[in-house]
């Protein structure tokens, strides 16, 4: 395990500084009984707290904490975007495995498509749609078999990306009355295969 300020006095000082800078009560309560960094890093919220400490107290990279932060796709993304302010290559193997945080990383850190993460992003209808709409700005054929099986995200993809009826997705959209209703209204489908009642 990475050793970070093994001196117990430094750990105590870091806890006190976090308290003075407004760390949340729940985090302070969890950290209060800890006596060492080793205990700190064993806590499941350690990556979140380390990001907060770097962003709000150090206001710069905390390199000794990075091996721990990068293991959390969520907090690795925030650390890259809010602390590193550029791509964080060491964390990318962890981030790309999460469709949500890989999408955010592509959008807000890379500012372009991220081909290496796409096999993971396309596993989620929600984040595949968002990636196509906000990053690619065009249809994403490889992800469409995933997207059209979700009535909600098939509707959004048809409306926001294709911008016309998506015949391949309609059998799936019809399985959800609410999204079928919105789809029919969006594309003015007055004589669809079955009557559509307005959802309550």
Q: Which residue has the tokens 């962890």?
A: 94
Q: Is 184 helix (H, G, I), strand (E, B) or coil?
A: helix
- The structural domains of the chain, with segments of one domain joined by +, span 1-71, 154-200
Mean predicted confidence (pLDDT) in 29-53: 95
On the question of pLDDT at 43 being above 60, the answer is: yes
Whole-model pTM: value is: 0.89
Instruction: Render pLDDT for 126-164 as a digit per residue (tens, 0 to 9).
Output: 999 999 999 999 999 999 999 999 999 999 999 999 999
CA angle (8, 14, 17) in 5-degree steps: 145
Question: How many Cα atoms occupy the beta-carbon half-sphere of 137 within 13 Å?
Answer: 3
């Amino acid at each position: 395990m990475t050793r970070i300020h093994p001196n117990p006095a430094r750990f105590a000082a870091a806890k006190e500084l976090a308290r003075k800078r407004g760390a949340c009560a729940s985090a302070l309560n969890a950290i209060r009984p800890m006596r060492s960094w080793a205990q700190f890093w064993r806590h499941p919220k350690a990556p979140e707290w380390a990001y907060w400490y770097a962003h709000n107290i150090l206001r710069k990279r905390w390199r000794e904490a990075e091996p721990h932060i990068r293991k959390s796709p969520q907090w690795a993304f925030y650390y890259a975007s809010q602390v590193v302010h550029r791509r964080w290559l060491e964390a990318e193997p962890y981030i790309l495995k999460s469709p949500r945080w890989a999408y955010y990383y592509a959008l807000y850190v890379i500012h372009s498509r991220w081909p290496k993460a796409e096999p993971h992003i396309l596993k989620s209808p929600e984040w595949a749609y968002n990636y196509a709409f906000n990053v690619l700005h065009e249809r994403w054929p490889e992800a469409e078999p995933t997207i059209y099986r979700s009535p909600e995200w098939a509707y959004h993809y048809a409306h926001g990306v294709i911008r016309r009826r998506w015949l391949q997705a309609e059998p799936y959209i019809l399985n959800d009355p609410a999204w079928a209703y919105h789809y029919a209204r969006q594309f003015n489908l007055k004589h669809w295969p079955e009557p559509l009642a307005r959802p309550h």
